Amino acid sequence: MSVSFADNLPTPPSPSEEKTEPKVSAPHPNLPLNDGKFHLLLAASGSVASIKIPLIVEKLYRIYEPSRISIQIVVTSSAERFLPAADKPLPAAIRLWRDSDEWTTWGDRSDPIVHIELRRWAHLLLIAPLSANTLAKISGGLCDNLLTSAVRAWNPAVPILLAPAMNTYMYNNPITKRQLRLISDEMPWIEVLKPVEKVLACGDIGMGGMREWSDIVEIVVSRFPPSSFPRKSELQPLVDENGLTHEKQHRNHPPTGAAGELTGHIRFEDELEAESNASETGSEGRPHPFKESHTSG
């Protein structure tokens, strides 16, 4: 008696047995979206100015108080080498995200993707210091580590601050000027904080030193005042029918940019809606509300 190939196929599952795949990845358990706090994603790349990170963190905690700010720190492998030379350690409660963390929570298609979850979580990305190497990667679209992957996948509705720190001859190099010009012209959600002239760690004197860390803190606070962020009890989480938390903050307490426009968590569907509304009102092409006159030429 012959047996057909079809006789060896498994029986299809009944509709009740079929699994429903989630539409988007699950939120990362360590990155709550709707806690009412200002979410600062602070990043450091390979420069000795990375030792200023603890000072930035300490000052922000004093200004906002821990009840109003949450800070996550992303470091490149080069930046991490400088942190032990800092005058003070980072608070134990702050997590350092490294390249290796990209794969710690991912094993299946519905698992959190770290660089996407960090982007969804943040109200602002501050890269201070920004090395010449990371500047080149950002302007060229490279994304070979956790930090540059987050930048490449960034939501243009959310601002990025870059604080370059490099040798004078690196900063004055024509390639650097071309890269900064490209960012200024093509990426309006990114603002470059012009470096300062000083005696550099290498002994050279000239432009290229990172903007004073206290000035950077003042810029952040001026754009995101502590009073804009309610306490956790004042905010209701937004959860869809699939049990997934949305990126957009509660509409009663939206974090706003310099022009009073929403700069908080926005999903892709909201971006499309915003683009459609902009085309109808003729507001396309206007500058990003966060961007002002700090760009470097």
CA distance 12 to 212: 65
Element (DSSP H or E) covering residue 269: helix 268-281
4: amino acid identity, one letter:
S
Which residues of the chain are under the pLDDT cut of 50?
22, 231-237, 245-274, 276, 279-286, 289, 292-297
Nearest in space to 228 (alpha carbons), one of 191, 266, 261: 261
**Annotated active-site residue in 11, 202, 252, 260:** 202
- Residue pLDDT, tens place only, 43-67: 999 999 999 999 999 999 999 999 8
143 catalytically annotated: no
Q: How far apart are the first and last CA of the chain?
A: 82
- Residue pLDDT, tens place only, 72-116: 999 999 999 999 999 999 998 899 999 999 988 788 887 888 999
SS3 240: coil
CA distance 88 to 77: 20
Q: CATH says 38-279 is which class?
A: alpha beta
Q: What is the pLDDT of residue 150?
A: 98
Q: What is the pLDDT of residue 297?
A: 38
CA distance 218 to 242: 40
